[in-house]
Structure 1
Amino acid sequence: MSECLLPRREVERRTGLSRSSIYARMKAGTFPLPVHDDDTHSVWWVASEIDAWVMARIAARNARNQV
């Protein structure tokens, strides 16, 4: 299976987070780190890592509501 890389705007769309929130969570160690392209100064995120982060948020919500 091949991986897909997502630009920041797509990460924002998938997560509902703003750019500043993404970078703050990365700094806190609670969000996947991007892949950097030094030649173009671009950053991308691995789609499966973003999807896993979203699913973990859903699972945490569901666990809280199991009371």
Structure 2
Amino acid sequence: MKLVSKRQLKEMVLYSPQHIARLEKAGKFPKRVQLGPNRVGWIESEVLDWLQIRLDRRR
């Protein structure tokens, strides 16, 4: 399992951190993993699956 940082996530998804937080809160984006008091990450495979669903809808 690989975790991605907020910076890496922003490059993958191209959404602002605020928009990602709104999507998470609405249950429309993979939940972050709290790694420490000031550090979070996302499971890369969950984010890639989320992206793949959007790509599949395009077809």
- What is the TM-score when the length of structure 1 is the normalising length? 0.81
Task: Name the structure 2 match of 1:52.
Answer: 49
Residue 7 of structure 1 aligns with which residue? 5
User: Normalising by structure 2, what TM-score?
Assistant: 0.91
Look up the match of 2:21.
23
Rg (Cα) greater in structure: 1
Provide structure 2 residue ranges, at least 5 long, that are not aligned to the other structure: none
1:14-58 C-alpha deviation (Å, 9 max, x unpaired): 0111111100100110000011023x4210000000100110110
- Report the count of equivalent residues: 59
